[in-house]
Chain A
Amino acid sequence: MTTHSRPAIAATGLRKSFGDHVVLDGIDLTVPQGTVFSLLGANGAGKTTTVKILSTLIGPDAGDVRVAGHDVVREADAVRAAIGVTGQFSAVDNLLTGRDNLRLMADLHHLTRADGKRRATGLLDQFDLADAADKPVSTYSGGMRRRLDLAMTLVGSPRVIFLDEPTTGLDPRSRRDMWQIVRDLVAGGVTIFLTTQYLEEADELADRIAVLDKGRIVAEGTAEELKRRIPGGHVRLRFADTDGLDAAQRVLGQASRENDTLALRVPSDGSLRSLKTLISLLDDRAIEVDELSVHTPDLDDVFLALTDTRKVAAQ
């Protein structure tokens, strides 16, 4: 078996339209096993449609799509046996208890009664739901519901997990809990396909990020690679008075001045060498600097630059 060289997800030329509306306009994706791949995009960019196609919920109009080595159209059953999906809208049974929901999944995965019971209890503990295990899901908070949703997905020990905006609408604490869960899963060798509109989330979790805009992938790479593609790194210097500000500007030349905050923005790649040069320039002339901070472009800059040129130009 060539299991380990084979990518967990591979799509080429993936297209999908609903009527006249083109949602996915030729997408190529490759996700190696045991990694986190994040699909980043605004609402309506086509993220959910991509997940639906990869998870066999809907068929592609064109393209070759393989998940866990199987074609999503011709071998949908084999794909379903290998994947787990946690969607944007929680797929839990509200009338049942958390434990019932997990037992239901265990039964559908044909675990024995004893195994199912053990698995349910284990997951309830792992996802911090043990106290609410026997309460109806309708009484759960958003974060608990999302954790249960993911726990249900894990009952069948899937090799590839799709998480469609798993933290949308969660409070910061629940979001961090969810991130930790994802990291633990990846440590266990699972492949994660994550969609999100939070750049911070992609930055935290993903090995590789693809930016989806209007049905096309406009950039792909690691978070660092994407950030490097965008200019905007600078050092910000703040001074005690206008004299210092004036003096510094004479020395540094091409810097943009913020009069009301007595600060200068000096373009910089943030490397130690450029900082050293900058500091000695100021030091030689005995210019007092109150505060120095280094700014690298974050994924927000990348996202805005790639998906909407108007917005960036306006900034």
Chain B
Amino acid sequence: MTTPSQALRFHPLRDSATMLRRNLKRMVRYPSMTVTLIAMPVVFLLLFVYVLGGTLGAGLGGSGGRAEYANYVAPAIILMTVTATIQGTAISIAMDMAEGIIARFRTMHIARVSVLTGHVLGSMVQAAISLTVVTAVALLVGFRPTAGLGGWLAVAGFLAAVTFALVWLAVALGQVSKSVETASNLPMPLVLLPFLGSGFVPTDSMPTALRWFAEYQPFTPIIETLRALLMSKPLGPNAWIALTWCALIALGGYLWSKRLYARETTT
């Protein structure tokens, strides 16, 4: 056994902060990515509220129509903002892998995980920006949440947990992708999952098999928790189910990512 000398000690926090700075700089230098990531949920929001909102709102059973539907769909759009962001995470990880820079990091004496944590933290910042913009647009088109300050803080904390979990999954997806194109396609199912849940219409309007899937897939309790927090309704068991899903996805994504990063490159 050799005792690690002073010079060989790792600095994971410092290295992660450095990598975070790198990712934030990349974000600033490549603003079209951020714009695209924000545009997608905004377009869906406008589409669902103005084109489909009147009819779908009537189907909710209340009397609110379009205004009521705006309140119903906003949490799903907010979640969609997170999934769009992680699509960006997978793309930028795949870009790193395709360029030689990761090989350079691998031959340097730095805390290995910092390359990945830099991306995770950078994506969290990106998500925070996107979520702020999308929520602001939702408020402009008629979203009227009833949450007070405490409720909003809970929403922020909950979204941070959801983003953290999904970003780790995206870090793994970005690494398994052989190309940047694959990396942008792989997270697609995650973007579609809110549709196959309670995001856009209540699940009891769906055929039996689909309803069964919709009720048990992770995004439904996540959306229901968001909805309850934003509209000051009772949480029920959904919050715990959602947080358990987040913990599982985060752990799975982290372990998978770490394993992928440690593997040898054969090319």
- B98 to chain A: closest CB distance in Å? 10
Residue of A nearest to B29 (CB): A95
Chain B residues near A152: list those with CB within 8 A. Answer: 104
Chain A residues near B14: list those with CB within 8 A. Answer: 110
Q: Contact check: which of B4, B29, B100, B265 meets A91 at CB < 8 Å?
A: B100
The distance in angstroms between the C-alpha atoms of A80 and B100, with both chains bound, is 17
Residue of A nearest to B96 (CB): A93
Which one of B15-23, B160-168, B180-188 is at the interface?
B15-23
Chain B residues near A56: list those with CB within 8 A. Answer: 106-107
Is B103 touching A136 in the complex (CB atoms < 8 A)? no
Chain A residues near B110: list those with CB within 8 A. Answer: 108
Chain A residues near B7: list those with CB within 8 A. Answer: 81
- Is A246's CB within 8 Å of the partner chain B? no
Q: Report A's interface with B, CB cutoff 8 A.
A: 18, 52, 55-59, 75, 77-78, 80-81, 83-85, 87, 89-96, 100, 104, 107-108, 110, 136, 152-153, 156
Q: Contact check: which of B4, B107, B264 meets A55 at CB < 8 Å?
A: B107
Is A90 touching B108 in the complex (CB atoms < 8 A)? no
Is B101 touching A110 in the complex (CB atoms < 8 A)? no
Chain A residues near B100: list those with CB within 8 A. Answer: 87, 89-92
Chain B residues near A84: list those with CB within 8 A. Answer: 107
Is A94 touching B11 in the complex (CB atoms < 8 A)? no
- A279 to chain B: closest CB distance in Å? 56
Chain A residues near B109: list those with CB within 8 A. Answer: 77, 80-81
Q: Report B's interface with A, CB cutoff 8 A.
A: 2, 4, 7-8, 11, 14-15, 18, 21-22, 25-26, 29-30, 99-101, 103-110, 264-266
Q: Contact check: which of A18, A78, A108 meets B15 at CB < 8 Å?
A: A108
Is A57 touching B18 in the complex (CB atoms < 8 A)? no
Residue of B nearest to A71 (CB): B2
Chain B residues near A90: list those with CB within 8 A. Answer: 99-100
Residue of B nearest to A92 (CB): B101
Chain B residues near A91: list those with CB within 8 A. Answer: 99-101, 103-104
Q: Contact check: which of B8, B25, B26, B106 meets A57 at CB < 8 Å?
A: B106
- A230 to chain B: closest CB distance in Å? 35
Is A107 touching B29 in the complex (CB atoms < 8 A)? no
Residue of B nearest to A18 (CB): B266
Q: A93-B22, A96-B29 are in contact. List 18 more A-B contacts (CB 8 A).
A: A57-B106, A57-B107, A57-B264, A77-B109, A81-B8, A81-B109, A85-B103, A91-B99, A93-B26, A94-B99, A95-B25, A96-B26, A100-B25, A108-B15, A108-B108, A108-B110, A136-B29, A156-B108
Is A77 touching B8 in the complex (CB atoms < 8 A)? yes
Is B26 touching A95 in the complex (CB atoms < 8 A)? yes
The distance in angstroms between the C-alpha atoms of A83 and B109, with both chains bound, is 9
The distance in angstroms between the C-alpha atoms of A91 and B8, with both chains bound, is 23
Chain A residues near B18: list those with CB within 8 A. Answer: 104, 107-108
- B91 to chain A: closest CB distance in Å? 12
The distance in angstroms between the C-alpha atoms of A182 and B18, with both chains bound, is 29
The distance in angstroms between the C-alpha atoms of A57 and B18, with both chains bound, is 22
Give me the 3 closest cross-chain CB pairs, A-B, nearest first.
Answer: A91-B100, A91-B104, A81-B109
Q: Contact check: which of A58, A75, A95 meets B2 at CB < 8 Å?
A: A75
Q: Contact check: which of A58, A100, A104, A110 meets B264 at CB < 8 Å?
A: A58
Q: With A96-B22, A96-B25 as given contacts, are A57 and B101 in contact (CB-CB < 8 Å)?
A: no
The distance in angstroms between the C-alpha atoms of A136 and B26, with both chains bound, is 10
- B27 to chain A: closest CB distance in Å? 9
- B57 to chain A: closest CB distance in Å? 43
Q: With A18-B266, A89-B100 as given contacts, are A83 and B107 in contact (CB-CB < 8 Å)?
A: yes
Chain B residues near A156: list those with CB within 8 A. Answer: 108
Residue of B nearest to A74 (CB): B2
Q: With A78-B8, A107-B21 as given contacts, are A95 and B107 in contact (CB-CB < 8 Å)?
A: no
Chain A residues near B265: list those with CB within 8 A. Answer: 52, 57-58
Chain A residues near B26: list those with CB within 8 A. Answer: 93, 95-96
- Listed by A's residue number, 5 A-B pairs whose Cβ atoms lie within 8 Å are A80-B108, A81-B7, A81-B109, A90-B99, A95-B29
The distance in angstroms between the C-alpha atoms of A89 and B104, with both chains bound, is 10
Is B99 touching A93 in the complex (CB atoms < 8 A)? yes
Residue of A nearest to B17 (CB): A107
Is B101 touching A59 in the complex (CB atoms < 8 A)? no
Chain B residues near A92: list those with CB within 8 A. Answer: 99-101
The distance in angstroms between the C-alpha atoms of A92 and B104, with both chains bound, is 8
- B116 to chain A: closest CB distance in Å? 15
